[in-house]
């Protein structure tokens, strides 16, 4: 292109992006700290890493925005596809590059393959999160078959040596694993058909020493609730890259003549220390992804699941509602078990009508009772699923995702409906819509409890159609009921990503509400997603998933890190427990308005058993920090805990917001005075010297409140 710019520059608040346009296809020359100098084309041209070694191809294969095998690039190419009966290899060249405000749009074309590729690179000027949008258009007269189309490929700076990804299982989501980026491709592949417990679409590429405050890091997130792959590799020329995109089965993605396919968006930011990148992702999600209702103070939930499981009846539910109201719940959620035939998990999914054998007068009496306490009403659905033992399946076995002649393995006794079929999505819309309208349902807990296996329409794979169809169904419902809130649940936290979060604004973080397990799960969750959307419930003393018993204060303090709620049988609590819970409920209510858009900090601690995090009000007037001790410390005392995010010059009143002094005192010959007396201190000293923690018994927690001295 003769008159296209030789470089494009985007500036955010603290980041800049430089795209250089010297090679055949533009390349990312810089993404990171905001640049202050003015840049001449010749500078970028000369800084292009042009040294060429012997024993390679005669021309260097550059790591462009769209690396392709045809240019001799040996890493993972941006596109693998084919057209039958013709040349299978693509070779794109630049046809246009233009910049408007915060976006650079690059158009590549391949005349021979009759394809056009568009890449939009947008830097959000508030949050410094970069978004890459990629689409491929088929200009030919026959189908184009795609096996792999990356949402984005990014070069990594030479000194980035590590890749941290999040993995887990049911009941233990978002646990980090760090591996070196070396020769040989590290390919984190998720084939679970949902965002999944096993591999979250959240990756951190970084320098070797990365912690809360230091080290350079690039956070990447793929906005997609289906199959995907994250690839990192250091090539033999020393260049490293990271690439992400949706994973496809053979024959799954066919672009019809004239049609265009858009990849899931890839989001990334590059900053210093984990906290900075985390905060940028939170800001981006709040301003660009999450539904508007998430910006309002969040109500306190009481959920029936761990209190009653499938053992439902009007009378017990009403008494549960009464007890929940007494401890301050504001929304009662009737979980699984209310619909036809659903007495356990072997039957009923798909038959979304109230079971008259359990609720002879429908849900009206219960809903009325809930509302009589001034509470909202929420209901559990698992729309994408069907039990073979259901009326729906008996009528429409052909509605499930399957391959002809092969038996689909069951999971939790259920199969998956093909929501991309119009008849299926209409059926689901009508069922849910009727109930939402009849009972004026405020909130849906939208569950999804199995992996997709053999996800076909009988002949062709369909897994990649499913997430889009589910998003569309959710959007249709919220359009019909603008006040309806939807939570994304998937056996706990197996569906959390910016794709589904555009339609849902709360996530059931994990089925594990043991506060100790939950602490690390929540740390992982909040690395990428804002804590106010993180459903966090106080559970029973004996956690159902781990069998561990924990103190009520620990359970409440951990739940206060997210959207506070209860998932226990409040009817069996004694007076003391009720009073304790009431205290933490009032605390949440008092602070939730500013917590909703607080700046989130994970704290550097002196021991891996101590996990600390804090939320600081935007104007730094107020903050809440929680410090959880998972087990016995090797040393006799936890020492001083450095806080984060306070204004160094401001003087703060510091106090113990958790009312567990009686729990702590017996372990302290002397308590730090601030635990019991008025204490005022500058933010600077709290962040440098740190706040002396009391001796804490294993599995305890403290909640620290800081509020700026009145002027
Ligand atoms: C999943 C959810 C739980 C609960 C059950 C009901 O496991 O994660 O919270 O709703 O389903 O069957």
CA 450 / ligand 1 centre spacing (Å): 11
The CATH number assigned to the domain holding 401 equals 3.20.20.70
Residue 339 lies in a domain: no
Distance CA 421, CA 285 (A): 30
Task: Give the model's pLDDT for residue 1.
Answer: 52
At residue 218, the 3 state secondary structure works out as strand
- For residue 335, the ligand 1 atom closest to its alpha carbon is 10
Residues 476 and 364 in one domain: yes
Tell me, yes or no, whether 257 and 180 share the same domain. yes
Question: Pick from 465, 500, 469, 466: which is nearest to 486 by CA?
Answer: 500
Q: Is the CB of 338 under 6 A from ligand 1?
A: no
User: How far from each other are the two terminal CA atoms of the chain, in whole angstroms?
Assistant: 62
Residues in contact with 628: Cβ distance below 8 Å, sequence separation at least 6, in sequence order: 515, 516, 519, 554, 557, 558, 610, 611, 612, 700, 701
3-class SS shares of the chain: helix, strand, coil, % to 5:
25, 30, 45
3-state SS of 608-625 is CCEEEEEEECCCCCEEEE
Q: How many domains are contained in the chain?
A: 3
The enclosing domain of 704 has a CATH number of 2.60.40.1180
Q: What are phi and psi of 595, to 5 degrees?
A: -60, -25
Nearest CA to ligand 1 atom 2: 491
Nearest CA to ligand 1 atom 7: 491
Please tell me whether residues 189 and 254 are part of one structural domain. Answer: yes
Answer whether 488 contacts ligand 1 (Cβ < 6 A). no
Ligand 1 center to 491 CA (angstroms): 6
The alpha carbon of 492 and the centre of ligand 1 are apart by a number of angstroms equal to 7
Residue 546, φ and ψ in degrees, nearest 5: -120, -20
Asked if residue 378 belongs to a domain, the reply is yes
- Active-site positions read 447, 511
510 lines ligand 1 (CB under 6 A): no
**What's the pLDDT at 407?**
97
266 and 380 share one domain = no
**So what's the pLDDT on residue 2?**
52
138, 115 contact by CB (below 8 A): yes
Ligand 1 near 336 CB (within 6 A): yes
Please tell me the residue having the least CA distance from ligand 1 atom 11. 491
Give the residue ranges of the chain where pLDDT is below 50. none
- 381 in the same domain as 276: no
Task: Tell me if 511 CB under 6 Å of ligand 1.
Answer: yes
Do residues 264 and 388 both lie within one domain?
A: no
Nearest CA to ligand 1 atom 6: 336
Does one domain contain both 34 and 164?
Answer: yes
- pLDDT at position 104 is 98
* Domain end call among 432, 465, 494: 494
CATH code of the domain containing 66: 2.70.98.60
Residue 471 lies in a domain: yes
Is 509 a member of any domain?
A: no
- Does residue 501 form part of some domain? no
Which of 453, 469, 494 marks a domain boundary?
A: 494
Residue 34 counted as domain residue: yes
Question: Residues 480, 629: one domain?
Answer: no
What are the φ and ψ backbone dihedral angles of 16, each rounded to 5 degrees? -130, 155
What local confidence, expressed as pLDDT, does residue 86 receive?
80
CA distance 250 to 403: 14
What is the reported pLDDT for 62? 78
The answer to whether residue 579 is domain-embedded is no
* Residue of 170, 171, 489, 494 best suited for mutating to test ligand 1, as the one with most atoms within 8 Å of CB: 489
Residues 179 and 53 in one domain: yes
104 with 213, same domain: the answer is yes
Residue with the smallest CA separation from ligand 1 atom 8 is 491
Pair 200, 348 in one domain: no
Q: What is the Å distance from ligand 1's center to 447 Cα?
A: 7
If 0-12 CB within 10 Å is exposed, 13-18 middle and 19+ buried, where does residue 229 land? buried
pLDDT at position 492, please?
A: 98
Cα separation, 337 vs 359, whole angstroms:
11
Rg (CA), the chain: 27
pLDDT at 4: 81
The parent domain of residue 473 ranges over 344-494
Residues 279 and 366 placed together within one structural domain of the fold: no
Q: Which of 452, 469, 494 is the last residue of a domain?
A: 494
Does residue 642 form part of some domain?
yes
**Cα 396 to ligand 1 centre (Å):** 25
DSSP 19-47: EE--SSS-EEEEEEE---S---HHHHHHH
Q: What is the pLDDT of residue 87?
A: 77
Rounded Cα gap, residues 64 and 306, in angstroms: 52
The atom number, within ligand 1, closest to the CA of 489 reads 8
**Alpha carbon distance 675, 655 (integer Å):** 6
According to the model, what pLDDT value does residue 320 have? 98
* Ligand 1 geometric centre to CA of 279 (Å): 30
Tokens of 514: 């043991």
């Amino acid at each position: 292109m003769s008159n296209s710019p030789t470089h494009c520059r985007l500036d955010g608040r603290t980041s800049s992006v430089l795209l250089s346009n010297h090679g055949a296809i533009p390349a990312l020359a810089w993404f990171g700290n905001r640049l202050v100098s003015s840049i001449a084309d010749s500078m970028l041209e000369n800084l292009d890493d042009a040294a060429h070694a012997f024993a390679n191809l005669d021309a260097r294969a550059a790591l462009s925005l769209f690396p392709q095998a045809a240019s001799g690039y040996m890493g993972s190419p941006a596109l693998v596809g084919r057209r039958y009966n013709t040349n299978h290899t693509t070779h794109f060249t630049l046809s246009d590059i233009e910049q408007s405000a915060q976006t650079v749009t690059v158009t590549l074309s391949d005349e021979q393959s009759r394809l056009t590729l568009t890449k939009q690179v947008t830097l959000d000027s508030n949050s410094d999160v970069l978004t890459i949008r990629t689409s491929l258009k088929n200009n030919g007269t026959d189908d184009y078959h795609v096996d792999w189309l990356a949402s984005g490929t990014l070069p990594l700076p030479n000194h980035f040596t590590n890749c941290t990804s999040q993995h887990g299982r049911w009941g233990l989501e978002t646990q980090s694993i760090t591996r070196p980026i070396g020769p040989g491709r590290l390919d984190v592949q998720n084939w679970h058909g949902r965002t999944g417990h096993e591999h979250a679409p959240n990756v951190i590429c970084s320098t070797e020493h990365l912690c809360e405050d230091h080290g350079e890091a690039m956070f990447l997130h793929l906005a997609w609730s289906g199959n995907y792959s994250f690839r990192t590799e250091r090539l033999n020329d020393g260049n490293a890259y990271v690439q992400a995109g949706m994973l496809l089965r053979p024959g799954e993605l066919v672009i019809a003549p004239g049609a265009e396919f858009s990849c899931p968006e890839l989001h990334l930011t590059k900053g210093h220390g984990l906290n900075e990148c985390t905060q940028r992702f939170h800001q981006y999600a709040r301003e660009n992804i999450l539904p508007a209702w998430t910006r309002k103070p969040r109500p306190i939930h009481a959920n029936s699941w761990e209190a009653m499981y499938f053992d439902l009846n009007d009378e017990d539910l009403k008494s549960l509602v009464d007890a929940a109201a007494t401890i301050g719940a504001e929304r009662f959620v009737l979980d699984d078990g209310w619909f036809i035939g659903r007495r356990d998990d072997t039957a009923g999914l798909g038959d979304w009508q109230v079971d008259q054998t359990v609720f002879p007068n429908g849900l009206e009496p219960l809903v009325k009772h809930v509302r009589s306490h001034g509470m909202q009403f929420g209901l559990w659905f698992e729309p994408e699923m069907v039990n073979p033992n259901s009326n729906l399946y008996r009528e429409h076995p052909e509605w499930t995702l399957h391959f002809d002649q092969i038996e689909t393995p069951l999971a939790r006794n259920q199969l998956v409906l093909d929501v991309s079929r119009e008849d299926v999505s209409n059926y689901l819309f009508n069922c849910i819509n009727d109930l939402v309208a009849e009972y004026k349902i405020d909130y849906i807990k939208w569950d999804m409890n199995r992996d997709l296996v053999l996800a076909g329409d009988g002949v062709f794979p369909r897994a990649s159609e499913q997430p889009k169809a589910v998003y569309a169904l959710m959007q249709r419902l919220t359009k019909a009921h603008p006040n309806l809130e939807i939570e994304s649940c998937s056996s706990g936290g197996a569906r959390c990503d910016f794709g589904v979060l555009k339609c849902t604004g709360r996530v059931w973080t994990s089925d594990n509400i043991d506060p100790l397990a939950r602490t690390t799960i929540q740390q992982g969750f909040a690395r990428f997603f804002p804590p106010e959307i993180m459903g966090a419930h106080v559970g029973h003393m004996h956690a159902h998933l781990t069998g561990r018993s924990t103190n009520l204060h620990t359970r409440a303090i951990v739940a206060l890190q997210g959207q506070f709620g209860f998932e226990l049988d409040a009817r069996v609590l004694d007076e003391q427990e009720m009073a304790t819970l009431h205290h933490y409920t009032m605390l949440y209510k008092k602070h939730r308005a500013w917590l909703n858009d607080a700046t989130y900090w994970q704290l550097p601690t002196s021991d891996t058993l101590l996990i600390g995090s804090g939320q600081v009000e935007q104007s730094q007037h107020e903050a809440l920090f929680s410090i959880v001790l998972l087990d016995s410390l090797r040393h006799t005392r936890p020492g001083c805990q450095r806080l984060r995010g306070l204004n160094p010059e401001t003087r703060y009143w510091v106090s113990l917001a958790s009312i567990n002094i009686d729990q702590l005192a017996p372990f302290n010959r002397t308590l730090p005075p601030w635990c019991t007396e008025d204490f005022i201190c500058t933010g600077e000293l709290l962040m440098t010297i740190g706040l002396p923690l009391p001796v804490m018994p294993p599995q305890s927690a403290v909640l620290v409140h800081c509020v700026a001295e009145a002027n």
